[in-house]
Amino acid sequence: MRKIRTRFAPSPSGYLHVGGARTALFNWLYAQHTQGSFILRIEDTDQARSTDESVRAIFEGLEWLGIQWDEGPFYQSQRSEIYAEHIDKLISTGNAYYCTCTPDEIEAMREKARAKGEKPRYDGTCRNKELGPQTGAVVRFKAPQSANTILDDVVKGSIVFANNELDDFVIRRSDGMPTYNLAVVVDDVTMNINTVLRGDDHVMNTPKQILIYQALGHELPVFAHVPMVLGDDRTRLSKRHGATSVTAYRDMGLLPDAFVNYLARLGWSYGDQEFFTRQELIEKFTLERIGKSAGIFDPVKMQALNADHIQAAAPEVIAPHVKPFLQESGYNTDDETYLKALIPTLQPRSKTLREMAEQAHFYYRPELEYDEKAVKKFLKPAIVEPLKALKENLSSLTSFDEKKLETVFVNLMEKFEIKLGKIAQPVRVALTGTSVSPGIFEIIAVLGKKKVLQRLEKAIELIQAR
């Protein structure tokens, strides 16, 4: 059985967007599933639109998603000799020819066809002239004028294209640059790509590419054209739907595994299962499970899935991804043990990593910022003595495990004849500055003795100074 070789071939004219990221993901998952190879190719022949910044953005997006390529990146701009070699082969075998028709002459041909009610096209003026290379000439593919070209697509089934609907399309421009259809086939042929998985906006290019494969005497790859990703109004996904670069979702606070999970479910399914680990996606991904309907991008559903992944992830998985958000606020996150200890206390109430970082402020602030309403409601003179007693009892503990903390609070409640809520909320405000936070015992255990005692003392002083 041949080894599967897939590829992702973005044009570096912008950031890696949702549709492109999904294409990359599907190719990577299929290569992983089959123990094949995933190749990265940068289609940068359009020098006017291609930028180094876009190339870096593509790499950054793929790296954040955890999509690693096995070979590449290869750049089309560095492969001109390879394209020239294959174009020469097509000319020498009679499958391509030089054309010297001017743009004005070609437009006149198209107008003439329109006037007759025919499809506007090049009329083949130079088809049989056997012209040689010359300045300003293009090279055209000599397309068959009868029969059909058939695309057997894993997703869309069999699609038949009448060859008489195709004109002799250009494969090399007058400036010497190959066109997309020529370059992509030569790349796939020379890189031994045998599975072409891409968006269905490429379907109409495929008959031309099939003809080039056949003219080069090369076996066709498996084609799988995936329906587009649409917004909730069923139009092509754009910024007005909230769609931005992949790294923007990183900056919103999504876990890469959650975003990968969500992308995979945009056009692929495995029964009713919604939540997938990365390994589960690799194990279960097949081309046959790609749907025929467009994937609908739903930011609310994406965020809910992200919350599920945050809750399911181990602290050591979350830590490197939440760090940048904490560092944005100027916090020192060098203490990995401290960071991994506080994460479980925030996971149940965090939909995004940004939310988690915002809720973690009290763990890092050297000086607490008190919520005035919480202070007025809970830090009253009557609670000073219980807080002093708590401070004294905690200072004598050698460790802050839950059982010992529970004993301290039970004894406190008995001594002052108060219920847990009457002491827990004031302590919460004293330790966090607010009345809403993770569990008291969790907070005390994470903050540690030094910080807890300092914050209790400050709360006592605050009450006494009012």
State whether residue 51 is helix, strand or coil. Answer: coil
Q: CA angle, corner 216, sides to 213 and 221, nearest 5?
A: 30
Secondary structure in 3-state letters for 72-134: EEEEHHHCHHHHHHHHHHHHHCCCEEEECCCHHHHHHHHHHHHHCCCCCCCCCCCCCCCCCCC
- Give the SS3 label for residue 5: strand
Secondary structure tally for the chain: helices H, strands E:
19, 12
Q: Which residues pair with 7 in a beta bridge?
A: 39
Distance in angstroms (rounded) separating the CA atoms of residues 458 and 453:
9
* Cα 64–chain centre separation: 8
User: Tokens in use for 278?
Assistant: 């990365």
Distances (CA, A) of 107 to 4, 110, 163, 297, 436: 43, 5, 22, 41, 71
264 and 25 in contact (C-beta within 8 Å)?
yes
Q: How far apart are CA 280 and CA 298, in angstroms?
A: 22
For residues 90 and 211, the answer to whether their CB atoms sit within 8 Å is: no
Tell me how far apart the alpha carbons of residues 3 and 153 are, in angstroms, rounded to a whole number: 19
* C-alpha separations of 161 from 91, 141, 144, 166 in Å: 24, 17, 12, 9
For residues 169-191, one letter each, b for 16 or more C-beta atoms within 10 angstroms of the residue's C-beta and e for the rest, the string is: bbbbeeeebbbbbbbbbbbbbeb
Catalytic residue numbers? 239
- Give just the sign of the alpha carbon dihedral 160, 165, 166, 168: positive
Please name the amino acid found at residue 393.
Answer: N
